[in-house]
Amino acid sequence: MGFPATLAAEAPPLHMDADGVVRIAGTRVALDTVIGAYQDGATAEEIAQSYDSLDLGDIYVIIGYYLRHRPEVDEYLLRRREASEQVRREIDQKQPSNALRERLLARRDKT
């Protein structure tokens, strides 16, 4: 009993969009989202329940890809977090929210 001749490994259903974000093919869900949920302890089934646009089989393939290519994926995720933090700092510099937050909290405390 052998394997069918058509049996072949599948590439993970991932693509990089124009902004350099790796997404699950056919969806707007980012790789960061799936791997972040997995790292937080979610099972593939729980991830599928949270994101209707994802196929359970695709989630398993993506997690398998992550486990086989952890250093590269972790590096990509780190770069994404750093870029996100940089954007957040730039926004905070342009529109400091501390003064507004303090005023809103003070107003809340008066009522």
Structure tokens at 105: 């909290």
**List of residues 6+ apart from 64 with CB closer than 8 A:** 12
Q: Which pLDDT value is given to residue 101?
A: 72
Q: Which pLDDT value is given to residue 8?
A: 74
What ranges do the domains of the chain cover? 14-110
Structure pTM?
A: 0.75
Q: Which pLDDT value is given to residue 64?
A: 95
In this structure, which topology does domain 14-110 adopt according to CATH?
Arc Repressor Mutant, subunit A (1.10.10)
For residue range 64-82, what is the model confidence (pLDDT) as tens digits?
999 999 999 999 999 999 9
What does 32-80 look like in DSSP terms, one character per residue? HHHHHHHHTT--HHHHHHH-TTS-HHHHHHHHHHHHHSHHHHHHHHHHH
Task: State how far the Cα of 65 lies from the Cα of 35, in Å rounded to an integer.
Answer: 10
CB 90 within 8 A of CB 83: no
Average pLDDT, the chain: 89
Question: Do you know the residue count of the chain?
Answer: 111
Produce one character per residue of 58-88: b if its CB has 16 or more CB atoms within 10 Å, e if not.
Answer: bbebbbebbeeeeeebeebbeebeeeeeeee
